[in-house]
Amino acid sequence: MSTNNEIEFKQILNRSTYEEIYHTYFKNKKTFTQTNYYIDTNHFKLKQHHSALRIRVKDNHYEMTLKVPEDAGLTEYNHIVDIEPQLNMSIKLSQLPSDIRKIVKNEFNVFNDELVILGHLTTHRLETPHQNELLVLDKSQYLGKTDYELEYEVRSHDEGYVKFNRLLEEFNLEHKKPLNKVQRFFEEKNASKKK
């Protein structure tokens, strides 16, 4: 099990800016692919607490992560699990690692038969060090949609924000804080239900 505080800045990109950043910083980097399976109740109890639960599949490993908001960034609770995720699969509270189970049950008031895998998002990711931080370029596919995103994972919020803005200026971008991947996934899911 690991717990960490995540401070990152993100920017949604159009395809041409994605290509430009790719050729500038990632041309010789290896892409890796990961799929996130998103878990919530049918009434979105975790989403109501601005939290997200997922199982990430990468290299035949399954990692469960609960993200909970903090004053600066998020706290992540990460565990390797042996749950092989499938769409619409129910997840019992007893299947959750103990610290995640405690938060989901006591703070989010989730009952034993409420958690379900509501969908998945596949990301093709590139990473590179940049000014002593981690620069990440993502292409994500979900529900028939593709989007592009730049992430900058930093150690210090204030220093990182300055570096991130310099990077955006390099590509003539104005910072607009996007919805995170799970929010974008659920927004698209809700939009597709209304069609």
Q: What total of structural domains would you count in the chain? A: 1
Structure tokens at 107: 């703070």
List beta partners, residue 164.
Answer: none
Amino acid making up residue 113: D
The string of DSSP letters for 145-181 reads EEEEEEEEEES-HHHHHHHHHHHHHHTT----PPP-H
- The domain that contains 166 carries what CATH number? 2.40.320.10
**Residue-number span of the structural domain to which 106 is assigned:** 1-191
- Cβ proximity of 133 and 153 under 8 Å: yes
Instruction: Summarize pLDDT for 164-193 with one digit per residue, the tens.
Output: 999 999 999 999 889 888 889 888 887 776
Instruction: Summarize pLDDT for 117-156 with one digit per residue, the tens.
Output: 999 999 999 999 999 999 999 999 999 999 999 999 999 9
